[in-house]
Amino acid sequence: MKKDYTTQYPSGLVMDILQFIPSQASYQAQAAHYITKFFETNELTTQQECDEHASSISDQPVSPTTIQGQNSYTVVAADGSMLIQFRPPNCPIDIPGLDNARTTYGRRFVPACVFRESWRGLFVYAMDGVQASWTNRPISPDVRQIYQSYDSRLAALTDTLPPKFYSKLNTARNQLWRIFDPSHPIVLNHPGLTDTNIHVDPTTGRITGVMDWSNPSLGPFGLSIWGVDVALGIQSINEWHWHPDHIELRRQFWETLSGAAGPLGDDQVSTAKVARAVGIFLTFGYCNGVPVEDDDSRLVYLDALLGVE
């Protein structure tokens, strides 16, 4: 039976949310745009020269990856075993942070990455494929410093966000202490668990790897759980559209998480949801380190993600 991906709205309007899923051609067009901008900004080399240099590193032909970042140019070797990434010096990869992520989560989710050289005004990195085991080793951070950073960043949002967010922002600030309780784990969080950074086996649906670990950060568990919600919806220009089964799928996520990590009690799940709200504000309340303004598209994410639990 064919799955129904339509959403019924109170007005009676029925909409197929699949119309908002980007096509392969859309991703390719976006990648081409980012590549053009990258080489317009970094004029000491060309795309062809980068491809040739990457080919000499991998000893095989290379091609641009389907997904490109705004501050890098990435190619993949023909056999898929290696990625070569070129980045400007003002946007380096945090290699120690990436090593921490690899130590914590293993090769299954975090690729090995090494700085190769400085070449033609760019930093060159080589990364392997993502596969193998889970390790999950503990790390000891400066919890007080992290708490103070979160509190000041949340406080700054009270001057920029629209009033409709004040209630949940104040709740997040007032309950911030809960996610720093010694009973709540501190982990290495991925900064952007979006669909473009999660690789999935199309035949099984299983996650095969998580990319873009350029700036992982230590913090309370749950800060990145909003990635689940992003996977359960689609943003159009200025609206958010949920998958018809998002409530049930979210319930199954929390049930599965509770069983795999515990079992977790109601208070532990509640604390993780506080961390989720804090993570949403810190991720979508800011753009390049600056609080967002009233007309920023990130407000669509804030409105949608804070409206569900």
Per-residue model confidence as pLDDT tens digits over 3-36:
444 444 444 444 455 565 666 677 788 889 999 9
User: What gap in Å lies between CA 249 and CA 51, rounded to an integer?
Assistant: 42
Q: What's the pLDDT at 131?
A: 46
Residue 209 is predicted with a pLDDT of 74
Give the pLDDT confidence score for residue 155 in this predicted structure. Answer: 95
Supply the pLDDT for residue 58.
92
**Helical (H) or strand (E) element with 143:** helix 143-157
Distance between CA atoms of residues 6 and 93, nearest Å: 41
The C-alpha atoms of residue 249 and residue 85 are separated, in whole angstroms, by: 35
DSSP 263: P
pLDDT digits (tens, 9 = 90+) for 192-241: 777 777 777 888 888 777 777 777 788 899 999 999 998 888 887 678 88
286-287 and 240-242: which strand pairing? Answer: unpaired
Looking at residue 281, what is its pLDDT?
Answer: 96
Per-residue model confidence as pLDDT tens for the chain (309 residues): 444 444 444 444 444 555 656 666 777 888 899 999 999 999 899 999 999 999 999 999 999 988 888 889 999 898 888 899 999 998 898 888 888 777 777 666 677 889 999 999 999 999 886 543 334 444 556 788 899 999 999 999 998 999 999 999 999 999 999 999 888 888 888 877 777 777 778 888 887 777 777 777 888 999 999 999 988 888 876 788 898 889 999 999 999 988 888 788 889 999 999 999 999 999 999 987 889 887 788 899 999 999 988
Q: Domain boundaries in the chain?
A: 25-128, 143-185+221-305
> 25-128 — its CATH code?
3.30.200
Provide the pLDDT for residue 1: 40
pLDDT value of residue 254: 92
d(CA 207, CA 67): 17
Percent of the chain's residues with pLDDT above 90: 41
Distance CA 131, CA 23 (A): 27
